[in-house]
Amino acid sequence: MEDMYGNVLIDGVNEYVTSRYIATSEDEKQQIRQVIEDIFRRWTHRSDASASE
């Protein structure tokens, strides 16, 4: 039962984020993409560093 509520919550968040993203300007979309790329780059760098330890 808890999984069902979690899935409903995630679905709602996904719909909200998607609708907000669609409504943003191209400049805002570029900023969002840049933040996502930065997060991914830092995450992969951290993963690479911990793998070499």
Number of domains in the chain: 1
Amino acid 51: pLDDT: 72
Q: Looking at the domain assignment, is residue 32 inside a domain?
A: yes
Residues 39-53 pLDDT 10s: 999 999 887 777 776
48: containing domain? 25-53
Q: Looking at the domain assignment, is residue 10 inside a domain?
A: no
Amino acid 53: pLDDT: 63
Q: Looking at the domain assignment, is residue 30 inside a domain?
A: yes
Residues 16-36 pLDDT 10s: 999 999 999 999 999 999 999
Q: Looking at the domain assignment, is residue 44 inside a domain?
A: yes
Amino acid 34: pLDDT: 97
Query: Is the pTM above the cut of 0.95?
Result: no
3-state secondary structure the chain: CHHHHHHHHHHHHHHHHHHHHHHCCHHHHHHHHHHHHHHHHHHHHHHHHHHCC
Q: Looking at the domain assignment, is residue 8 inside a domain?
A: no
Amino acid 1: pLDDT: 65
Q: Looking at the domain assignment, is residue 34 inside a domain?
A: yes
Q: Looking at the domain assignment, is residue 18 inside a domain?
A: no
Q: Looking at the domain assignment, is residue 13 inside a domain?
A: no
